[in-house]
Each structure stands twice: as C-alpha cells, then as structure tokens.
C-alpha cells in the first residue's frame, strides 16, 4: 500500500540525479505549499484543544475561475510524492479548468501532530486513524471554500472532486461517503474497500499474485518459485548454506539464524507481490526501475534446468531477483530489513495494526509458503510492536458499512483485474451512481498515472470513464 511512496522516492532520486539544473519539486509541478492549523482530535472537547500544521499543495496553473477543485486525499506518505505521481489529475485539469489540491495525511510527510515526538508513544500516535484523517480533509476543504474562493458562497459553483489511489482511494471514497457535502464525487482507484476481516477470503490476495505469475510467466515459473522456498529453507539449516545465499544474493548482512531466514523469506515474498502489483505494460519506476512486464522478464530468468541443482537454482534466482533489486545495476547490496528508521513504514504498519487489518494467508494452491491467517497472533504481534490494540474485526463494518454501499452516490471504483488488491476491491456497481470499472489486464492503479504512449485501450477507456463520470457530477453532460 505504500507503493506510490516507494515509487516516487525512486523517481525523485532518478530525476534529481539526471538533472543538471535542479529545480524544486514545487517549481516543476507548479505547486504552492500551504499549511493549515487543524485539531489533533476532531472528536473531543478538551479544555485546551491542540492544533497542528497540516500541509497541502496547490497547483493553480490550469485553474480558470468557475472551474472545479480536484483534491487528492493523501495516503501513507509525503504528499509531495503523491502530487508528483498522480499525473491523471494534471492531464485532465485543463479540460475542466480545475484547481489541483493535494492534502497530506496526518502523521506522514511534514504533517506531524507532535513534531519530533509524534511517534514516541502510543498516546501521541492514537490520533493516527482514517476517521481523523477524513475530518482533516473535510476541514481543509471547508477552509478552502471560504478562503480561496473569497467571493463565492455557493457550494455548487466550486464543487470539489476527490481522487485517490490504493489507501488514498479508500479515503477518497470514504470522504464522499461520510462528508458528501465536501466532495461531489470520488475517483477511487485500486482501493481494497472490502479487504477487511470477514469480508474477503484471506487466500485471494496471494492467489491473485500467483495468477499474475501464471499468466505472464512461462509454464514452469510458479513451480520453480515454489521449489525455491524449499531450497532456501534447506540451505538455511547450515552456516555454509546461509553464507552461500548471503553471498550469491548480495545481502548487505549475512544470514545468521532462523530469524534472519524468516526475514529473507518475507523479503522474497514481498518482491513477488511488488512485481505483480507493478506488472505494467511499459517500463516504470514504481517501487524501483523495472522493465515492461517485469513478471515475464523475472520468470524468463528462471528456467527449469536447475531442478536438481540446488546451488544453481539459487544463482539463477539471483539473476531473476536483480530485475527487481538492481535493474539499473547500481545497487551494491540488498538490505532485507528496510523498515528500520523509516517513519512512513512505521506509521503505515501502525495503521495496518489498528484499523486497516487486511488478512492475508497462503495455501497449497498458491506459490507462497503455506501460512494460515491468525487474527489473535496478528493482534498480539501488533501489541508487542506498538503497544496498541488491533481494532475489533467488525470495525470496517461499523465505521464504513462493510459491503453495504448501496446508500451512497457518485463514486467510481476502478480496479485492475491483474492487481492482487482487486480481490478486495469494489468490482460491481453498488447503486445507481456507485460504479465499478474493471480494467482488464491491468496492475495496481495504473489509471491514475499520467497518460503514456504505450497505454493500451483498457487504460484509455478507464480514464475516459472517469472523465465522463466527473462531467456528469458537474452537470457538464
């Protein structure tokens, strides 16, 4: 879910390193940075209300008086990253004369409620919830309606439309659902709205990842990947084996014990997931620089000729993994424990531990190591890590209605049918104006990216659908 962030960081680094005259992000994207004081807790009446500075960015390049406001509901990361990676909003802004606004999600980027102490205690972190973030968005939008459009009182003259991808897509939809007077509609891309306990079978996610590998890789790819787990586990039983993997896979630190092996297995699993999520039809820099159809390229490196050659298989995997870990050939070593000192990762893990529990499990049918879903264990691990409770499994049903969306209006839910998260997405219409648009063959939130010459007709039609929906909401058709 912190996909966009990772993507953006890499984009940014590549960009900065390739540019002779370094322009600031604000200049390149015509973004003006603003801050607004918002309550730390929107839902209490404490005697000394605390406020903090929430950041938002504005692009008024395409705005013509009377045009709508397109607002991105920031998700798990620095908002400037999202502002640079939702090209669709810039692409269509001129068509609508739209103002673009990107609001940062509290606890990410520069919007830290308690400054340097933001992550230092459960007490300080307790306001990191989607309900508080939504109240922030409503607060900022109300402020903008009053301040930016000084002389315009009518809501309808300056309607706001929400955009968001992944968790940001959930927020865009929830904003429309909970504060329909704030935004006239929402484009919610690749949002796993139904990926909560009891709502979606836990095995579907890894099933879908496996399907992606089956569809885009060669016949034996999945079989080879499955074999890989056994080989790693076997090799890891001896120091010699661990050293061999560490060296062959260029790990930054050598494997030393079973905990390291566990971490390695997770790291490998995440790579498979990420390649599947970003299996775009053209070269991208989403998490990391990748060729077109990286799943195919990855699988092509894994032949079946090493089935009886353990070390040969590990070496082979090494070449395949470099497609993901080192496509540009510049990486010195692979750090399998990347979440250290990364507050974005920390905050997102916290959210996944509290509200946004998305049960994943693997079975014999998929290409991952079999692992059942255990809510109690999950919850206990979260408590160890953050000292917080995991919300009741019913939380998403009580707070956001679960799958019962028929009472709402004006939301487009788009999902790539080859996006693993689509298994928890809204893929059928829910009411007369809660529409699902399923994008054949597409990975994670491709429709929110800027247009590309390599875009296929499926992606093109998804974006056309969005544009048409927005026009309807704005009474332009």
Q: Least separation, in Å, of the C-beta of 263 and its own copies?
A: 26
Q: Is 419 helix (H, G, I), strand (E, B) or coil?
A: coil
What does the per-residue mask of binding to its own copies show for 48-77, with x meaning CB under 8 A? xx----------------------------
57 φ, ψ (degrees, to nearest 5): -115, 145
Q: Which of 35, 181, 307, 460 is in the footprint of its own copies by CB under 8 A? A: 181
Which tokens hold the place of 177?
């659902």
**Which parts of 135-154 interact with its own copies (CB under 8 A)?**
135, 138-139, 142
Provide the sign of the torsion angle of the four alpha carbons 330, 367, 316, 281, taken in this order.
negative
- Exposure string of 419-429, with b = 16+ CB inside 10 Å and e = fewer, is bbbbbbbbeee
Which residue number, 153 or 292, has a Cβ lying nearer to its own copies? 153
Which residue number, 37 or 230, has a Cβ lying nearer to its own copies? 37
Q: Least separation, in Å, of the C-beta of 264 and its own copies?
A: 31
**Number of chain positions touching its own copies (CB under 8 A):** 46
**Which parts of 71-130 interact with its own copies (CB under 8 A)?**
122-123, 125-129
Q: Which of 30, 60, 114, 180 is in the footprint of its own copies by CB under 8 A? A: 180
Which residue number, 330 or 384, has a Cβ lying nearer to its own copies? 384
CA distance 218 to 391: 42
Q: Least separation, in Å, of the C-beta of 137 and its own copies?
A: 10
Residue 306 near residue 317 (C-beta atoms within 8 A): no
402 is a site residue for its own copies (CB under 8 A): yes
188 is a site residue for its own copies (CB under 8 A): no
Q: Least separation, in Å, of the C-beta of 167 and its own copies?
A: 16
CA distance 99 to 101: 7
CA distance 347 to 363: 29
Q: Which of 260, 355, 366, 455 is in the footprint of its own copies by CB under 8 A? A: 355
What does the per-residue mask of binding to its own copies show for 381-400, with x meaning CB under 8 A? --x---xxx-x--x--xxx-
Which residue number, 82 or 139, has a Cβ lying nearer to its own copies? 139
Q: Least separation, in Å, of the C-beta of 171 and its own copies?
A: 15
Residue 426 near residue 436 (C-beta atoms within 8 A): yes
Q: Least separation, in Å, of the C-beta of 56 and its own copies?
A: 16
Which residue number, 131 or 318, has a Cβ lying nearer to its own copies? 131
Q: How distant is the alpha carbon of residue 309 from its chain centre?
A: 38
The CA radius of gyration of the chain, in Å to the nearest whole number, is 23
CA distance 376 to 383: 11
CA distance 457 to 199: 32
Q: Is 58 helix (H, G, I), strand (E, B) or coil?
A: strand
DSSP state of 251: B
Q: Which of 7, 88, 90, 179 is in the footprint of its own copies by CB under 8 A? A: 179
198 is a site residue for its own copies (CB under 8 A): no
CA distance 442 to 193: 18
**Which parts of 20-49 interact with its own copies (CB under 8 A)?**
41-49
Q: At what angle do helices 343-353 and 375-386 cross, to 10 degrees?
A: 140
**Which parts of 285-344 interact with its own copies (CB under 8 A)?**
none
CA atoms within 13 A on the CB side of 154: 5
**Per CB under 8 A, which region of 13-21, 177-185, 219-227, 287-295 contacts its own copies?**
177-185
Give the active site residues: 166, 419, 444
Which residue number, 62 or 139, has a Cβ lying nearer to its own copies? 139
Bridge-based pairing of strands 99-103 and 160-165 is unpaired
Q: Which of 304, 335, 352, 409 is in the footprint of its own copies by CB under 8 A? A: 409
Which residue number, 388 or 467, has a Cβ lying nearer to its own copies? 388
Q: At what angle do helices 239-248 and 258-277 cross, to 10 degrees?
A: 30
429 is a site residue for its own copies (CB under 8 A): no
Closest CA relative to residue 110, chosen from 180, 55, 167: 55
Bridge-based pairing of strands 99-103 and 51-59 is antiparallel
Q: Least separation, in Å, of the C-beta of 138 and its own copies?
A: 5
Which residue number, 186 or 221, has a Cβ lying nearer to its own copies? 186
Q: What 3 state SS string does 3-27 have?
A: HHHHHHHHHHHHHHHHCCCCCCHHH
Q: Is 190 helix (H, G, I), strand (E, B) or coil?
A: coil
The contact set with its own copies (CB under 8 A) reads 41-49, 122-123, 125-129, 131-132, 135, 138-139, 142, 155, 178-181, 350, 354-355, 383, 387-389, 391, 394, 397-399, 401-402, 404-405, 407-409
């Amino acid at each position: 879910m912190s996909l966009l962030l990772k993507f953006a960081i890499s984009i940014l680094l590549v960009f900065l390193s390739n540019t002779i005259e370094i322009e600031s992000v604000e200049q390149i994207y015509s973004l003006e940075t603003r801050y607004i004081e918002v309550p730390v807790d929107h839902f209490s009446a404490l005697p000394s209300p605390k406020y903090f500075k929430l950041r938002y960015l504005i692009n008024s390049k395409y705005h013509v008086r009377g045009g709508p406001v397109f607002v991105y509901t920031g998700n798990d990361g620095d908002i400037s990253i999202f502002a640079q990676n939702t090209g669709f909003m810039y692409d269509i802004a001129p068509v609508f004369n739209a103002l673009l606004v990107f609001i940062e999600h509290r606890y990410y980027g520069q919007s830290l409620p308690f400054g340097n102490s933001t992550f230092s205690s459960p007490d300080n972190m307790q306001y990191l919830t989607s309900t508080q973030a939504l109240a922030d968005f409503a607060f900022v939008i109300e402020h903008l309606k009053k301040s930016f459009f000084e002389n315009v009182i009518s809501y309808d003259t300056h309607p706001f439309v929400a955009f968001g991808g992944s968790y940001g897509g959930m927020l865009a939809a929830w904003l429309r659902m909970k504060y329909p007077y704030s935004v006239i509609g929402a484009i919610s891309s690749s949002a796993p709205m139904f990926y909560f306990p009891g709502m979606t079978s836990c095995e579907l996610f890894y099933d879908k990842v496996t399907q992606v590998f089956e569809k885009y890789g060669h016949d034996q790819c999945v079989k080879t990947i499955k074999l890989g787990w056994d080989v790693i586990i076997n090799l890891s039983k001896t120091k010699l084996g661990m050293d061999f993997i560490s060296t062959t896979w260029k790990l930054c630190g050598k494997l030393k014990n079973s905990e390291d092996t566990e971490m390695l297995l997770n790291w490998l699993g995440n790579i498979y997931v990420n390649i599947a999520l970003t299996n775009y039809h053209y070269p991208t820099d989403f998490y990391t620089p990748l060729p077109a159809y990286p799943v195919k390229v990855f699988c092509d490196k894994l032949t079946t000729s090493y089935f009886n050659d353990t070390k040969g298989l590990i070496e082979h995997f090494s070449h395949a993994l470099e497609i993901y870990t080192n496509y540009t050939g510049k990486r010195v070593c692979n750090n399998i424990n990347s979440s250290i000192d990364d507050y974005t990762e920390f905050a997102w893990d916290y959210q996944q531990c509290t509200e946004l529990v998305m049960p994943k499990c693997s079975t014999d049918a998929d290409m991952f190591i079999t692992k059942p879903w255990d809510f109690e264990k999950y919850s206990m691990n979260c408590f160890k890590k953050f000292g917080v409770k995991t919300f009741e499994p019913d939380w998403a049903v009580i707070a956001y209605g679960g799958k019962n969306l028929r009472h709402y209006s004006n939301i487009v839910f788009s999902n790539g049918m080859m996006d693993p998260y689509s298994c928890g997405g809204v893929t059928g219409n829910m009411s007369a104006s809660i529409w699902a648009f399923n994008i054949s063959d597409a990975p994670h939130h491709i429709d929110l990216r800027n247009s590309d010459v390599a875009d296929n007709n499926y992606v093109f039609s998804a974006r056309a659908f969005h544009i048409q929906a927005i026009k309807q909401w704005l009474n332009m058709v």
